[in-house]
Amino acid sequence: MAWWGRSALSAFRPWRPAGWRSLFTEVGDVLGEGRQVPSPGRTDMVATRLWGVRTAPCAVGLAVLNSSITGRRRPISFSASASSIFGSGGNSKKEKLFLEDIAELIQARACQRVVVMVGAGISTPSGIPDFRSPGSGLYSNLQQYGLPYPEAIFELAFFSHNPKPFFALAKELYLRSCRPNVIHYFLRLLHDKGLLLRLYTQNIDGLERVSGIPASKLVEAHGSFASATCTVCQRPSPGKDIWADVTEDRIPRCPVCTGIVKPDVVFFGEALPQRFLLHVLDFPMADLLLILGTSLEVEPFASLSEAVQRSVPRLLINRDLVGPFAWRPRSRDVVQLGDVVHGVERLAELLGWTQELQDLIQQETEKISWLLFFLAVHS
Ligand SMILES: [Zn+2]
């Protein structure tokens, strides 16, 4: 989410494991899906590349990483036109791709390991304002909390001194009862069709979960409100446990040590969740990268967009031309500029998914309405 803005560079503190072997053990633990982690014999080579991701400029590290795990790509059967797009020998590759080509690749199942990256732009249609956009509400409303500067609301030092602004903001977002929009449900459909390898989100609103995409398919890079942790004794708790206090303007306290309980949202200076390590395996495996509603200004996201193989098409659906699509475009890049909802609806139309998408939205909206009704009755 653009909440972190450029300052998230400082939020991405290199995560330092005890050693390479433990690093890959943890990647394996995070995966927990029976997928193979790099063999011990390749550990040094790949670990060096992984370390490059986190210490050297990301683009460099990831570019090297790209070439390291290519041996694990599964063979893909292309349709004739898909073959012409991907190419069979190198010089027969189609020069320029369009949105129609991406739709055809998906329909032909030439792309069935889709990695998706999303940012604040997919949540604004749900009524969640961009933290930084002037006039959007949140940014200017923060003045009432007496913050020295807006970003302080997500700084641990300020939070431990004065957690009230953060919980006031959390309450405001909670009470808005925002719901997933057509973009979230398009991604859910992608999952339902077995095409979603992983969804990397910068958003902390949890709408991807609400849309029905399972947690195993998500990497919430900046954390979420789904869980919380005591800032003193580190006792974990379900995120829902804090809301009774938050909605009554009380600071949630640990039942064991009375420390402040903080939702597992990544603050400035905090390490990213361990699940973020999945990118080491996901991006080289991807056969299509879909990027929606993000400025690609926040590292390491911006560099992740370069972590897919060069032969892999990258589709950007966004208001503006951003990141590597602007300053280091690739021949297989496809850019759909303008309103993100319209762009996604256009893609759904080209895929022939429009009716299916509408049915899914109706079905899920009814489910959420019943849930809200149930909660209202029983609260
Ligand atoms: Zn505690």
The predicted-structure confidence for 340-375, as pLDDT tens digits, reads as follows 999 999 999 999 999 999 999 999 988 876 666 555
**Domain of 106: which CATH number?**
3.40.50.1220
Residues 218 and 229 in one domain: no
**Which pLDDT value is given to residue 23?**
38
The identity of residue 286, as a single letter, is A
SS (H, E, C) 131-147: CCCCCCCHHHHHHHHCC
For residue 116, which phi and psi values (nearest 5 degrees)? -120, 140
Instruction: Please tell me the distance between residue 260's alpha carbon and the centre of ligand 1 in angstroms.
Output: 7
Domain of 249? 129-175+224-265
Average pLDDT over residues 238-242: 89
Confidence of residue 258 (pLDDT cuts 50, 70, 90): very high
Of the two residues 236 and 85, the one the predictor is more confident about is 236
d(CA 151, CA 5): 9
Residues 217, 351, single domain; the answer is yes
Judge whether 344 and 363 are in contact, CB under 8 Å: no
Same domain flag for 317 and 341: yes
Residue 233 marked ligand-binding? yes
pTM score above 0.85: no
Predicted confidence band at 306 (pLDDT cuts at 50, 70, 90)? very high
Query: CA 204, CA 214: separation in Å to the nearest integer?
Result: 16
87 pLDDT more than 60: no
Strands 288-292 and 261-265: unpaired
What is the distance in A from the centroid of ligand 1 to the CA of 236? Answer: 9
**Residues lining ligand 1 (ion), CB within 5 A?**
230, 232-233, 235, 254, 256-257, 259
Please compute Rg for the chain using Cα positions: 21
CA 226 to ligand 1 centroid distance, Å: 18
User: Do 231 and 320 share a domain, yes or no?
Assistant: no
Binned at pLDDT 50, 70 and 90, residue 43 comes out as very low
Rounded-to-integer distance, Cα 338 and Cα 317, Å: 8
279 is catalytic: no
Overall number of domains in the chain: 2
The answer to whether residue 37 is domain-embedded is no
- CATH number of 147's domain: 3.30.1600.10
Residues 137 and 214 in one domain: no
Distance (angstroms) between ligand 1 centre and the Cα of 262 equals 10
Tens of pLDDT, residue by residue over 28-40, are 444 444 343 333 3
| Spacing, Cα 325 to ligand 1 middle (Å) | 45
223 C-alpha to ligand 1 centroid (Å): 20
**Helix axes 182-192 and 354-378, enclosed angle (nearest 10):** 110
HEC-encoded secondary structure of 152-190: HHHEHHHHHHCCHHHHHHHHHHHHCCCCCCHHHHHHHHH
Does residue 204 fall inside a structural domain? yes
CA of 14 to the centre of ligand 1 (A): 26
Q: Is 230 annotated as a binding residue?
A: yes
Residue 254, annotated as binding a ligand:
yes
* Span of 38-42, 82-86, 249-253, 272-276 with lowest mean pLDDT: 38-42
d(CA 277, CA 227): 19
Residues 242 and 314 placed together within one structural domain of the fold: no
From the list 161, 184, 191, 222, the catalytic residue is 222
Let me know: does 204 contact 224? Beta carbons within 8 Å. Answer: yes
State the chain's mean pLDDT as an integer.
76
Whether residues 233 and 317 fall in one domain: no
- Give me the phi and psi of 336, to 5 degrees please: -120, 100
Integer Cα distance of 131 and 206 in angstroms: 16
Same domain for 313 and 237: no
Do residues 102 and 207 share a domain?
A: yes
